[in-house]
Amino acid sequence: MLAILKKEFHSFFASPVGYLVIALFLILNWLFLWVFDNDFNQFNYGFADLTPFFQLAPWIMIFLIPAVTMRSFSDELRLGTLELLITQPITTFQLVLGKFFGAFLLLVIALIPTLIYVYAIDQLGNPQGNFDSGILIGSYLGLLFLALAYTAIGVFASTLSENQIVAFIIAVFLCFLFYYGFDGLADVVSIDFLRKLSLQRHFESISRGVLDSRDLIYFISIAVVFVFATKFKLDYKR
């Protein structure tokens, strides 16, 4: 599994993909938070905290993470190299985990430079350093768990088509459905149970700085379900 993880991670930086993903994530957030005149702009927000960033980032990740994962297995299917990988002395589960953690590691690296925003709000606060560190830490943890779920969904979507664009569209749809779709459906059909399936609700819960085991279990469950769905899909193709 470790060999697959390293190969997958290095492949992102052997081509422009890794650099492009990180650059797009940082540039889009920077433009919305500090340049464009909109509700997310830190100067318009009026408070020295990163709430606008944590409202915006999940939506950017809905498109960014599928762009990272769309090639995970669709490329292997298109080029016919999946059979070669499967015949290697590794299990299908190890192959899936290697691809999954390789993509997730890239996303963790993309989040690290955003810590400069913490320094920015620390300097902008009046008095300086006037922000809630508990909410900040909880929000970053929420983003990591959200990225974990999105990555699992994206890797699964990449097994559904040899075409990367099709895999990307499926992943975006599924990520949107789990992040906002169930919450929106709950408003339409008045079924509160659907709200419990919303990634957005669980993300917002963690972002308040309170680590509830139910939220953590939900994120991990989504990741586990889609990782195993990917394994079963590959086993079926096998």
Average pLDDT over residues 226-237: 87
- Give the CA distances from residue 49 to residues 36, 117, 126, 131, 206, in Å, rounded to whole numbers and listed in that order: 18, 9, 11, 6, 16
pLDDT on residue 126: 63
Domain housing 67:
2-237
Whether the pLDDT of residue 107 is over 70: the answer is: yes
- In this prediction, residue 16 has a pLDDT band, given cuts at 50, 70 and 90, of confident
Short-list 197, 204, 200, CA closest to 218: 197
Model pLDDT, residue 29: 86
Asked whether the predicted pLDDT for residue 47 surpasses 70, the reply is: no
> How do residues 153-171 score in pLDDT, each as one tens digit?
999 999 998 888 999 999 9
147 close to 104: Cβ distance less than 8 angstroms = yes
User: Does 120 score more than 90 pLDDT?
Assistant: no
What predicted TM-score, i.e. pTM, was given to this entire model? 0.89
Does residue 82 or residue 145 have the better pLDDT?
Answer: 145
Q: If pLDDT is split at 50, 70 and 90, which confidence band does 46 have? A: low
Determine which of 84-88, 91-95, 216-220 has the lowest per-residue pLDDT on average. Answer: 84-88
State mean pLDDT over 78-91.
70
Q: Using an 8 Å Cβ cutoff, are 50 and 118 in contact?
A: yes
Distances (CA, A) of 195 to 28, 92, 98, 184, 188: 29, 33, 32, 8, 11
Chain-centroid distance of CA 64 in Å reads 8
Residue 10 has pLDDT above 80, yes or no: no
Q: What is the number of domains present in the chain?
A: 1
